[in-house]
Amino acid sequence: MDIKILFEDNQLMVIDKPAGVTVNRADTVGEKTVQDWAERRILNTEYRIPNKIGLSSPSNHSEFSIQYSVFLQRSGIVHRLDKETSGCLLIAKTEAAFTELQRQFKHREIKKEYLALVHGQVEPQQGTIRVPLSRSRLDRQKFTVVPGGRPAETCYEVVQVFKGLALPRQGQALSSYNFTLLHLFPKTGRTHQIRVHLKYFGHPIVADEKYGGKRAAADRARCPRLFLHAAKISFTHPTNKTQVMVESSLPEDLKQTLSKLSAGTA
């Protein structure tokens, strides 16, 4: 698996996760994951065996702390990105770094910035989406806005609005389009938070097959995958306490989508 490392020292690394690669191993995931890559890249051979047998308690493995077993089980991966989302992913290389970075996430000290292309013209130019989320009772693979759900907050800023005429397919009439490129700043880290918030806001992400409805299939003609990219992550280094900011450039497939919209050839 070819994964670009954006930042690395003896405590942690930030990788540029490719789109289409799952972060965590699971029984339902058949392909290689970021976790497989991280395990080979970070963990010493002596620690791979307990990681693979699912060490979860120090009761039978007194040499390991509970926190260290979690570090091993996750192969140092501190947070996650959806399979189709690309960009910055933070991975700890030591138990101490893992514990401290988890603490920073819990206390919302780590700042993340995303880029997303959404349907429609977003107004106002900046704002905050603040609605609670919970797992859908109808589809356990999805999340939805539910009164009394877990608090979730996403701030946004408009970067650019794209307006034009879509090239007609055979047998179809010429149609217009409106899209908005957004900077997004999630203040909480709920599963699918950005995707669900933008759908609720009336501006689903382009090519989002899970939350975009019927238009997601048509979106794939102009954008090959979910247009969501983790562009930046900022945190306090767990040992030297300096501020670290790492950026990931917009991948070529998403750049091409924006170029088509700008040129009016989408």
What is the C-alpha to C-alpha distance for residues 247 and 234, in angstroms, rounded to an integer?
9
Q: Which helix (H) or strand (E) holds 243?
A: strand 243-247
DSSP string, 57-101: -TTS-TTS-HHHHHHHHTTTB-S---TT-EEEEEEESSHHHHHHH
Q: Does residue 250 contact residue 231 with C-beta atoms inside 8 Å?
A: yes
Q: Give the residue numbers marked as catalytic.
A: 82
C-alpha 139: how far from its chain's center?
A: 21
What is the C-alpha to C-alpha distance for residues 125 and 190, in angstroms, rounded to an integer?
24
What is the C-alpha to C-alpha distance for residues 74 and 69, in angstroms, rounded to an integer?
9
**β-strands 12-17, 86-92 pairing:** antiparallel
